A and B are shown apart, each in its own frame.
Chain A
Amino acid sequence: MKILVPVKRVADPDNANKVKVSPDGQRVTSDGLEWKLNPFDEYAVEAALRINENGASGEKLGEVVVVSLGPDDVQTTLRQPLAMGADRGVQIKATDDQLDSSVVAKALKALVDAEKPDLVLMGKQAVDGDSNTAGQMLAELLGWPMATFAMAIEADASGKTLTVGREVDTGVLTLKVTLPAVVTVDLRIVSPAAVKNGKTPDTHKYNEGARYASLKGIMAAKKKPIDVKSLADLGVTSAPVVKYSKFELPPARSGQVKYVESVQELVTKLRTEAKVL
């Protein structure tokens, strides 16, 4: 199967509370924070690799192409999935202010038209903008079926359909999609038995989480090709339609934590002071 995985770099999510807003409120500044691969995208890469290999032996069954939109430093971002085992990368050159989810979806559509993958596998949301829209928009632009918030993927033996368990508010909703399709992944897609293809041995269990790149993988990634395209090459001329005029930090929670000494004191405080019991 040929799988395209779009990936985005985000300011280190574990340091997101260090994200600041510029004094004029015009920009979010992530100065001094490291760029990381968006965690959901990392899980999408892992899921793509699992769909395309024979679990136990690691024998490869198909091709995984990763793509990122952004300035030249996204090439560093692309090396991580390449080191994990993806086959090649594509950079779509753009500055951050040229992009919003509708531009991203259009650019990805153009790339899909050129690459003709069987599956686009992506994170359900990027943990910077937290928008959760690009995958759905891409699916519609392509006229493809989709399965969002996937926690389990099972490819049938022919590789023509996927049965996908989706995490929804009310439980797990299972869909069967005929390829080509767009699937966006949720966290549990990297649990040990979440991804199965016709070749995965029944008893095979992956390690929890996304795989680390081995030293060998990192060395190999340096030689893997990254194709560079511009938005114009893909025929995308539109500007972002969601425009931010201002950013601000959320108001701090009023007051400070009060340490209570006993259960009794807690109950009394909740009744008489906070008045919530």
Chain B
Amino acid sequence: MTDVLVVAELLEGGMRRSTLSAVNFAKQVAEGTGGSFDILAIGEGAENAASQLSGFGARKIFTAEVEGGYVAEKYAPTVAEVAKSGDYGVVTATATTYGKDLAPRVAARLEAGVASDIASVAVDGGKIVYRRPMYAGNVFGYCTVETPIQVVTVRQTEFEAAAESGGSSDTESVSIAEDGAAARVEFVSLESQKSERPELTEAEIVVSGGRALKSAENFKSVLEPLVDTLGAAMGASRAAADAGYVPNDLQVGQTGKVVAPKLYLAIGISGAIQHLAGMKGSKVIVAINKDKEAPIASVADYFLVGDLFQVVPELTSEIQKAKG
């Protein structure tokens, strides 16, 4: 029997939807071992997040209201205290930049090992076995974590958002534990670019542009009409993000975001392995590239050889027609 503690991720005074991937994982482990799961909502808007999470089957939801922005040094001691207060075998969060930042810090505090960014979990004779991508997704490793408490971050694209199961969880508010490190870090700002478009990691369709787009202008005038016609999220290769054509947080790849939409369009992207690592889980992949031999061909389902500046506008109007 293993009880799981899920650390919810909060954003703008409520739960960030990515949290539901960790909830799904927690349900799988709890079901597999006959245990239960609890949730800790920590941050600004914890009460609100708790009410949003109430119908997902958690035995209990802890809330810890924290003023001001997120810093790991403030959160980790509290997460560790809550983790130690129960009989938890696993502490988990989604492998967003939040989970990746916080979870290992919590682990060190709990003297726990970490399995990060896992793609699946199996319970085998009481042992919990994690499967995780390594080498930019070119190898999968199966591992166990041999400490009394284990810390796990889960890959959002591999764990669907948990569905609401009804009922309502009890809540309990907990106090904030701090330590010396918290006094030596100060949250200054979070600059985020607001977009009306769906979130990259959740979108059904992603259109990504590469270096070939050549400018921020072209992203706007050539790519955006296609993106919006499809109701898609916009992504980019590192080369495009580095060149400043789009903000960094649109980067798809091993070291950017991992996406797995139904349809992925790679436009003017060569398909370096670091890019493939972030998108090859997509169901259908379309490449538009001048070069028939571009490595993106190794994962693409459909490949249109051509100049994107001609093909993309044509594609946009063809889809508009098809839709209209």
| Residues in B whose Cβ lies below 8 Å from that of A136 | 72, 100-105, 108
| Residues in B whose Cβ lies below 8 Å from that of A173 | 69-70, 187, 189-191
- Inter-chain contact A146/B190, CB cutoff 8 Å: no
Kindly report which residue of chain A lies nearest to residue B109, judged by CB atoms. A140
With A169-B257, A178-B184, A244-B143 already in contact, the answer to whether A263 and B304 are too (CB < 8 A) is yes
| Residues in A whose Cβ lies below 8 Å from that of B314 | 263
Question: Per a CB cutoff under 8 Å, which of A127, A147, A244, A247 touches B254?
Answer: A127
Which secondary structure dominates chain A's binding surface? Answer: mixed
Stretch at the interface among B28-36, B128-136, B168-176, B216-224: B128-136
Could you tell me the distance in whole angstroms from the C-beta of B114 to the nearest C-beta in chain A? Answer: 5
- Inter-chain contact A131/B135, CB cutoff 8 Å: no
- Please give the number of chain A residues whose Cβ is less than 8 angstroms from any Cβ of chain B in the complex: 85
Q: Mark B260-297, 1 if CB is under 8 A from A, else 0.
A: 00110000000011100000100111110000100001
Q: Which residues between 187 and 231 of chain B lie within 8 Å of chain A, taking CB atoms?
A: 187-193, 201, 205
Kindly report which residue of chain B lies nearest to residue A174, judged by CB atoms. B188
Kindly report which residue of chain A lies nearest to residue B117, judged by CB atoms. A130
Is B66 in contact with chain A by the CB < 8 A criterion? Answer: no
- Inter-chain contact B142/A246, CB cutoff 8 Å: yes
- Inter-chain contact A249/B72, CB cutoff 8 Å: no
With A277-B263, A277-B322 already in contact, the answer to whether A187 and B255 are too (CB < 8 A) is yes
Is A260 in contact with chain B by the CB < 8 A criterion? Answer: yes
Kindly report which residue of chain A lies nearest to residue B133, judged by CB atoms. A130
Q: Which residues between 296 and 324 of chain B lie within 8 Å of chain A, taking CB atoms?
A: 297-305, 311, 314-315, 318-319, 322
Stretch at the interface among A53-61, A70-78, A80-88, A98-106: A98-106
Kindly report which residue of chain B lies nearest to residue A100, judged by CB atoms. B113
Kindly report which residue of chain A lies nearest to residue B96, judged by CB atoms. A169
Kindly report which residue of chain A lies nearest to residue B305, judged by CB atoms. A259
Is B248 in contact with chain A by the CB < 8 A criterion? Answer: yes
Is A215 in contact with chain B by the CB < 8 A criterion? Answer: no
Question: Per a CB cutoff under 8 Å, which of A101, A147, A241, A247 touches B140?
Answer: A247
Is B165 in contact with chain A by the CB < 8 A criterion? Answer: no
| Residues in B whose Cβ lies below 8 Å from that of A242 | 113-115, 143-146
Is A157 in contact with chain B by the CB < 8 A criterion? Answer: no
- Inter-chain contact B181/A145, CB cutoff 8 Å: yes
- Inter-chain contact B147/A241, CB cutoff 8 Å: yes
Q: Mark A233-255, 1 if CB is under 8 A from B, else 0.
A: 00000001111111111100101
| Residues in A whose Cβ lies below 8 Å from that of B39 | none
- Please give the number of chain B residues whose Cβ is less than 8 angstroms from any Cβ of chain A in the complex: 94
| Residues in A whose Cβ lies below 8 Å from that of B27 | none
Stretch at the interface among A8-16, A89-97, A196-204, A222-230: A8-16
Is A258 in contact with chain B by the CB < 8 A criterion? Answer: yes
Could you tell me the distance in whole angstroms from the C-beta of A202 to the nearest C-beta in chain B? Answer: 20
**A172 to B192, alpha carbons, bound, how many Å?**
7
Could you tell me the distance in whole angstroms from the C-beta of A178 to the nearest C-beta in chain B? Answer: 4
Could you tell me the distance in whole angstroms from the C-beta of A240 to the nearest C-beta in chain B? Answer: 8
Question: Per a CB cutoff under 8 Å, which of B184, B190, B286, B299 touches A172?
Answer: B190
Q: A151-B248, A277-B263 are in contact. List 19 more A-B contacts (CB 8 A).
A: A28-B134, A28-B135, A40-B255, A101-B104, A102-B107, A133-B103, A136-B101, A136-B105, A146-B181, A171-B249, A187-B238, A187-B255, A240-B113, A243-B144, A247-B134, A250-B140, A262-B304, A266-B304, A277-B322
| 26 residue pairs bridging A and B, Cβ less than 8 Å apart | A13-B136, A19-B138, A102-B108, A102-B113, A129-B134, A132-B100, A133-B116, A136-B108, A140-B106, A149-B101, A167-B249, A170-B190, A173-B70, A173-B187, A175-B185, A241-B146, A242-B143, A248-B140, A253-B285, A257-B287, A257-B297, A257-B302, A260-B302, A267-B322, A270-B284, A270-B302
